[in-house]
Structure 1
Amino acid sequence: MYDYHVHTTYSDGSFLPRMIDAAERAGLDGVGFADHCNVFDAEADQAYREASGFNLDLTYERRRRAIDRARERTDLRLFDAVEMDYHAAREEAIESFLEDADFEYAIGSVHAIDGVNVHNQSYFAGLSETEREAAVEMYVDHLISLVDSELFEIAAHVDLVERNEALRGLLTEDHYGRIADAFTDSRTVPEINAGRVLDAYGEFHPSESFAELLVDAGVSFTIGSDAHAPGSLIDCSEELRAVREEWHLPIVELDLV
């Protein structure tokens, strides 16, 4: 089993050697380091990058050398990847960076709605129901643009808004259908993401009902723990093994040289 979505200290995760050791202990065949990256040039985005330490656009070559050295000490397949923030108006900058950086694969994520992080519970709880519905509609529009762009091999946590209690339950059958249609026409595939399965949210992305709809539409998945620490990588690997069997999911391996 390959885990294509793991973080290191090159964004907001743990040390690379510790994550490799955890992947070995979890019995994985390969692990992909997909640290957060944002190449938006707005002042607010730059401030967010600096505060969060999301500087992979400046450090990916250093991380690449570390991955190359680590390959000499493990039988695991190690992948040099990235998790890119996506916004429809920033496609040109994203495409240019990905072409220059030449990662083995890229994961695309919609982490913000109108400039506000999806996880910001207090902000979205303060909006009216109509405003929250409009925010979810915007999220879906950007997610579909991400899939349509085909800039990425993988689309991460495709129902991310469900993590936020203020937005939970606002995705509609129409939203699910539109997202499924986008994936059926794209080279980009969604992941089964375990990033919040061990905490209070306790669910995978996508949810089981959404995953069933995607399977019915002929969509396959990759596997991603979205782990930021060794313990969660190990624990999530067990959860992911179980769910891919219980949900009878079609899992694909990326066609990488």
Structure 2
Amino acid sequence: MRTDVHTHTTFSDGSALSAMIEAAEAAGLDGLGLTDHCILTEDAFGRHETYDLDETYERRRERIDTARATTDLTLYDAAEVSYVPGDADRIREFLATADFEYSIGSVHFAGDYDYTSDAQYVDSAAGVRRDAVERYYDTVVDLVEADLFDVLGHLDLPERLETLRGVSRPSDYDRVAAALADSRTVPELNAGRVNDALGRPHPDPSMLSRFADHGVGFVLGTDSHRPEEVTTRVPTLRDRIARSAIDCLEIDAVLA
């Protein structure tokens, strides 16, 4: 079986791309999805100002095309796009224009809630935290039903925050699993925080059986922004797959 993973990094120059390829080769991968962040929506959290793939993807594509001649890896020219319901039409138009080999859709913020930082939840009451998490899953289900993306990233991103961890409920996962079962979109098993204090891939491994019950498979994502993260996270993903009942899918099968 092929092992393809998605990474997230900013290729400011060709050496950054080369380093990521070398790390993927060292990890024994067959394919590498190059999925820089892409945020089309102006937001109150400054993420749109930080990530500019919508303006630079053509230059990045040239680097990827050049790099293909230097490796036996299958390189995928892809993107992780932040999903905002009100911008669905704009996202669809951009994806059609950019014509990536595949796209990941993720919810990083929804309304007034940011799911990438603990800061706004430190002093929040339990009800506010639950409202934030419920809004997150509402938006994830909306993302799946919008039928914009090949892959759903960060299936339960709030679980990566210490302040929101454990606020998600089994019913939240059931809603997402049911939506995915009726969709072409496939979720990723993401290893983005396996080396920090939380120490586990997400979605929450204890909830994986809920997706298996719906016949939902997963693709693998390291969420690596640096080469060394590829080599440390890939073994964790392989171990997780070996010890779970979920189906691990190749990205080519998802795109077929």
Q: What amino acid sits opposite 2:10 in the alignment?
A: T
Return the match for 2:214 from 208, 212, 217: 217
Give 1:108-123 correspondences, 5 Å limit. Answer: 108-123=105-120
Return the match for 1:153 from 150, 156, 161: 150
SS of aligned partner of 2:70:
coil
| 1:100 has 2:97 as partner | yes
- Please tell me whether the aligned partners of residues 10 and 55 of structure 1 are also in contact (alpha carbons under 8 angstroms): no
Give 1:165-204 correspondences, 5 Å limit. Answer: 165-204=162-201
Note the alpha carbon deviations across 1:32-91, whole angstroms, 9 max, x for none: 000000111x3646x4322x2x11000000111100000011100000000000011110
SS of aligned partner of 1:242:
helix
TM-score (norm 1): 0.93
- Please tell me whether the aligned partners of residues 10 and 59 of structure 1 are also in contact (alpha carbons under 8 angstroms): no
Note the alpha carbon deviations across 1:136-183, whole angstroms, 9 max, x for none: 110000000111111111101201101112211111122111111011
Q: What amino acid sits opposite 2:179 in the alignment?
A: A
TM-score (norm 2): 0.93
Structure 2 residue aligned with 1:205: 202
Unaligned runs of 5+ in 2: none
> Could you tell me how far 1:3 is from its partner in structure 2?
3.3
Note the alpha carbon deviations across 1:174-214, whole angstroms, 9 max, x for none: 21111110110000011110000111110111111211110
Q: What amino acid sits opposite 2:122 in the alignment?
A: A
Structure 2 residue aligned with 1:136: 133
Structure 1 residue aligned with 2:27: 26
Structure 1 residue aligned with 2:64: 67
Structure 1 residue aligned with 2:4: 3
SS of aligned partner of 1:126:
coil
Residues of 1 paired with 2:240 and 2:141: CA distance? 25
Residues of 1 paired with 2:147 and 2:247: CA distance? 20
Unaligned runs of 5+ in 1: none
SS of aligned partner of 1:24:
helix
Residues of 1 paired with 2:105 and 2:47: CA distance? 18
SS of aligned partner of 1:169:
coil
- Please tell me whether the aligned partners of residues 39 and 47 of structure 2 are also in contact (alpha carbons under 8 angstroms): no
> Equivalent pairs: percent with the same residue?
44
Structure 2 residue aligned with 1:37: 38
RMSD: 1.7
Structure 2 residue aligned with 1:86: 83
Return the match for 2:224 from 224, 227, 234: 227
Structure 1 segments, 4+ long, off by >4 Å, are none
Q: What amino acid sits opposite 1:30 in the alignment?
A: G
Structure 2 residue aligned with 1:58: 55
| 1:16 has 2:17 as partner | yes
> Could you tell me how far 1:100 is from its partner in structure 2?
0.3
Q: What amino acid sits opposite 1:29 in the alignment?
A: D
